[in-house]
Amino acid sequence: MKKLFTGLIILLASAGFAHQPFWNPGSPTLEQAYKVLEPGVSKVVTSQLNAGQLGFYVLELSAGFVLDLGLFVGAACPPAFQPRMWLVGPGFQGNARPPFPTPEGMEARVFSGGWRDYRGHGLVARKGPEFRERLSGGTYYVVVEAGNAAGYYMISLGGSEVPGGTPEGRAALGRFNRCS
């Protein structure tokens, strides 16, 4: 009984220091972008894309904010599911023309490749593109582009560890791990 109690305490304590989990049911256009609230708080947003689909996220950042962003896919998803991650915003030099319209005055950078196995924080995944940079502030968009395969993915934002998230977000972690 003592071992069970100790295990429960460790589990509950570690849950308080994990990213806040959220579920994005779909955000297929810039106008329907999933609003990421409190971008300075550590969180993961899980979603699903079919081949050829896009997932849009919007963040309002203060000047000098360091955006720490990563892209993960479920390890059980097809190996061909290697989405690209785009960052769209003001104040930086773009490196590619995106397959979606961008707001006037904003540039786009694409991040792809680098996929490797990842095990941690209860995830069985592949970790892909990452971005960490101090930004000038304003409205920024993160766009996940599925490519030619489908699967579950999550964007991860580093930041302060604050308990929270939603029941839908916690339930999505199991679907992410199974890719179903």
CATH code, domain carrying 71 = 2.60.120.380
Assess if residue 134 is contained within a domain: yes
pTM, entire model: 0.89
Domain span at residue 148 reads: 19-178
Q: What confidence score (pLDDT) does residue 18 get? A: 65
| Residue 41 forms part of a structural domain | yes
From start to end of the chain, where are the E strands? 20-23, 34-35, 43-49, 54-61, 66-74, 84-89, 107-111, 116-120, 123-134, 138-145, 151-157
**Residue 11 belongs to a domain:** no
User: In total, how many domains does the chain have?
Assistant: 1
Closest alpha carbon to 176 in 154, 155, 158, 157: 154
Residue 91 within any structural domain of the chain: yes
Q: Is residue 43 part of a domain?
A: yes
In the structure, what pLDDT confidence band is assigned to residue 13 with cuts at 50, 70 and 90? very low
C-alpha 89/C-alpha 21 separation (Å) is: 25
Any domain includes 7? no
Average pLDDT over residues 151-174: 96
Residue keyed to tokens 């971005």: 131
Q: How far apart are CA 125 and CA 10, in angstroms?
A: 23
Instruction: Give residue-wise pLDDT tens across range 69-122.
Output: 999 999 999 999 999 999 999 977 889 999 999 999 999 999 999 999 999 888
Is 102 a member of any domain?
yes
Residues 96 and 91: their CA atoms lie apart, in Å, by 15
In a domain, 49, yes or no: yes
